[in-house]
Every structure is written in C-alpha cells, then in structure tokens.
Amino acid sequence: LAEGALQCAQPMEDPWLRHLDWHVAQPRMTKGRRGKDGEYVRGGEPRPYARQRYTGKLVGKPQWYCDLWDAESGDIRVTVRSRVAPYLLRLTWLGHPLYHSRAHGWTFRVPAAEYTEHPGRFSGMTRVESCSSLQDQGYDATVAGDTQGVYFKVPHADGAQANCGSPLAKSYQATVDNGTLASAYPTARDAMRLNAMCAYWVSARTRVMSQFVVWDAGDMRAAEDPVTHKPLRLGGPSAVILPQVVPMGTVTRRGVEPTWMTAANASRGRVGSELKAMVRAPPGVKFVGADVDAEELWLAALLGDAQLRGHGASALGWMTLQGTKALGSDLHSRSAGILGITRSAAKVFNYGRIYGAGLSHAVALLRRFNPGMPQEDARAKAEALYRATKGRRARASDGSAFWHGGAESFMFNTLERIATASDPRTPALSAGITCALQQRVAGSRHMTSRVNWAVQSSGVDYLHLLLVAMRYLARTYMIDLRFALSVHDEVRYL
C-alpha cells in the first residue's frame, strides 16, 4: 500500500494522501570552500556527508515514507498502530474519508453540500468546530481552511468528549462488520481481524512472562525463551505459579490480581486466550472447579423476589429461573428484541442498567453498537427498554420514591433501599460498605457505585459461603483437596 501511494501522480488531490507529509528531505552537504573570487576552489565543492540519515532506497522519498523506515530490517514497517495506516487503507466512516486532527483525534469529512441537504443523517454526531485563533487549543489548520467540508469526530465508546485514537482498534471491529467503517481494500478487514486476534496477547504478554514462579530445585534443565531466545531455567513437573492476589482489593471486597482474574476464556479467534489451559495439574492430581451462571443477575433477581418471599415471584426472578436462550425468553434475548440489537450487545445494556446506569448511558451504548442510528431513535428505544424493565418512578404517601410497572421494579427498589440505608449491609452475611460511601457522608452522590456494591458484595458473600461449605464437605467426606484460586464467581480446587 505504501509503495502504491508513492505512485500517485497528484497526491494533493487525493482525499487521504493529501494529509501525509510529502516534503522530500534533501541530503546533508558539506559547507564547501570558496576562493577570494567567490568561486569554489578545486576539490572544495559541497559534497554529501558520508553518513546520511536517508540513503539508498530512501533518497528522494517523501518524509512520511522515511518515517516508516526500519533500520534493522532494511525496509519500511507499517502496522495497524501506525498513524498513516488509515490513510494508506483509504478508510471511510459512513462513506466519508477519514482525517486525523491533533486536537480532535480521527474525524471524517462530509461535503458541505451533502450536510446542508441531509443534516438528519449526522444528528447526534459530534461536529468539529473550526477555530480561527492559532492560540486556541482546538485549532486545526485543515479544518479551519476547508470551506467546502464539515468534519465530525469518529464516535468513541467513552462519549462525545473522547477522541478516537485509532479506527483500527479492536473496539471498532463491530463497525467494520456492519459496514460503517469501510475501506477500498480487503486488506483493511484482514488487518483489523488480525489486530483483534492479537490484542489480548499484546496486553497480557508482559504480565504472563513476569509471573512469580517457584521451580523444583531437584530437576533443573536449560531451555530457551521462544520469543526473546534468551536462556531460561525451567523446572520439573512440580514447578508452580503463585498468583499475587490482593484479597478484598476493592470496595466490593472482591479480590484483585492482574493476570489470572482477568484471563479470558479460550477463543479460537483470540491469541493467548488459551492461557488458563496451559496450567496443568501435577501427576495424580486434577483441577476441579465450577462457576455460577450469570451470578450477579441471579443475585439481583433474588433480592427483588425477597419482597414477595418466593424465588421466581417477580417477573425478573421468573425470567432468571425459567427463561431460556433457545426460546428467546431470557432477559438478554428480550432486551435484544426491544432494542433491535444482538443478544451479546444486550448483555452490556442489562448489566449497566442493573448497576444503576442512567438513560443517557443507555443511549450512548446503543449508538456505539449502531453508529448510524439517529440520536432521537436511540433515545426512543432506550426509553422503551427502561419502561419495560426498570419501570416508572413514583412517590409514596410518605414522600419516598419507588419504581413500578417494570420487570425489574422490585429488584431496583430493594437495591436502592440497601444503598440509601443509614448503615448499608449485604442481606446474606451483613457485610458493611466503606464509611466514605455511607448516606451520612455521600448524601445522594455515587448512587451507581453504591447499587453496584449491593450486588457485587453479595456475590462475595456467596463465594465465602461456598468456600466454607466446601471445606466442611471435604472434612466430612475425607476429600483430599486444596483450594487453588477463586475468580469472582468461579472456584478451582486441586
């Protein structure tokens, strides 16, 4: 792609290539020696320095090409993280070419005539306002000097204020699949697919290679690191990894550990996700474990059912117990039907709503999964979902607020009652919240965190009950076991 871009006869007329630096660096020359007559003396003409920054293949090449040069390989090196990659791939957002602004991140340019004729297509998009003052922090020379185009920011998952750092990032894979982000080359789709495949290992490799390992001193053998090719000392079959877990490392009392507690399940399209499968039990011992299916959703439903003194008595509780993915009667399938999105995307909505996320957050998420949806449509769908699930807000005769008419109204009433209590406690083991988030200190602030605490801290209660029960069963039935690791709603024993 880079070599092909060099062949463009009129790069400044190309909507992508014109944003590259086409300045050709001149070779560094000696100063030269002149005589009294002002002419160069014999042998004193300016000569190119023996050691040039750009030699051989780079002579006469534009600056953007030279910046891609890799001295070790003796060739240019372009990755999905290279700033020029979206330009070389000729990426478009909703059919319009991308442009990178230092102040606003990646944007896309819409012809002014098209924007004037169809302004509704871009409702809800964040328009880049041109600034005339060079001292202004948001000044961009290209945007300010383009009178025939209107620029909009490429949407970011964190909202309108966040800038898109790379449209080839893993988070934009869904927009490639639905055609919002496109390219003139099939290479772009392959590049994003490979980037998504390797993203997990790129982030996890350093943590994996720095694990605290204890080797069997009686069986040491030399080996080589397959990545760095440096010598390693590997131990025998009884070598172990000691996970560096911080018990109760968060407000919700969950454990914190950067590698094993964040390790993803094995996936064919994610390099490094087989990490947990690489940990083997020693001879004669097996790993035995289990996890709770949708634990936090089940616990939240249970808290709502408690008002009616029967599990499954509320609409959410019944859906949790009897709803199935195959029949489309579980919570995630029902939400996906209301919103018109996929079931996996609906999961993100549901957990965000349960933890107290508001309507504006739901609208932002919906437009993240469907960037082409107008703001008004996204808000209407989100309001319909909240009416069907959370219900409507009303006030009792004593002035207290409550939810009613939704499948999850009972659950939200219970969670908010716990979160706003003078001394919030989990219903199972009566664990308290930090004083900093109690009503007398926080007032009405941080409600999302307090509701989140009520569910996740109850999950920690369940884990503690499970561990104590397992210890009792092991003693009662003389099971030779050893607790290995717990990952929130999952336990592993040797």
Segment 371-397, tens digit of pLDDT: 667 778 888 888 988 898 899 999 998
For 414-439, what is the mean pLDDT? 93
Checking if the pLDDT of 241 tops 50, the result is yes
Average pLDDT over residues 123-140: 71
pLDDT at 226: 52
| CA–CA distance, 327 with 320 (Å, rounded to integer) | 13
Residue 175 to residue 372: CA distance in whole angstroms = 10
> Would you state the pLDDT for residue 225?
54
Per-residue confidence band for 195, with pLDDT thresholds at 50, 70 and 90: confident
Burial of 286 from C-beta contacts in 10 A (0-12 / 13-18 / 19+)? exposed
Asked if 33 contacts 54 with a C-beta cutoff of 8 angstroms, the reply is: no
Model pLDDT for residues 23-79, shown as the tens digit of each residue = 887 767 777 777 777 787 777 777 776 666 666 677 778 889 888 888 788 888 888
Q: Which residue has the tokens 């204020």?
A: 161
pLDDT range class, residue 218, cuts 50, 70, 90: low
- According to the model, what pLDDT value does residue 110 have? 92
The pTM of the full predicted model, rounded to 2 decimals, is 0.71
Tokens of 233: 């000392």
Identify the band that residue 235 occupies on the pLDDT scale cut at 50, 70 and 90.
very low
The predicted pLDDT at position 224 comes to 55
| 133-142, 326-335, 357-366, 451-460: range with lowest mean pLDDT | 133-142
Edge-to-edge strands of the sheet including 483-487? 288-291, 490-493, 483-487
Q: Are 467 and 483 in contact (CB under 8 A)?
A: yes
**What residues are paired with 100 via a beta bridge?**
106
pLDDT in the model for residue 100: 92
**Range among 159-168, 336-345, 440-449 with highest mean pLDDT value:** 440-449
**489: number of Cβ within 10 Å:** 19
pLDDT in tens, 107-129: 999 999 998 888 877 877 888 88
Q: Taking 50 as the threshold, does the pLDDT of residue 231 lie above it?
A: yes
Average confidence (pLDDT) over 131-141? 67
Residue ranges of alpha helices (H) inside 93-235 are: 112-117, 141-145, 173-177, 186-209
Share of the chain above pLDDT 90, in %: 29
pLDDT of residue 372: 63
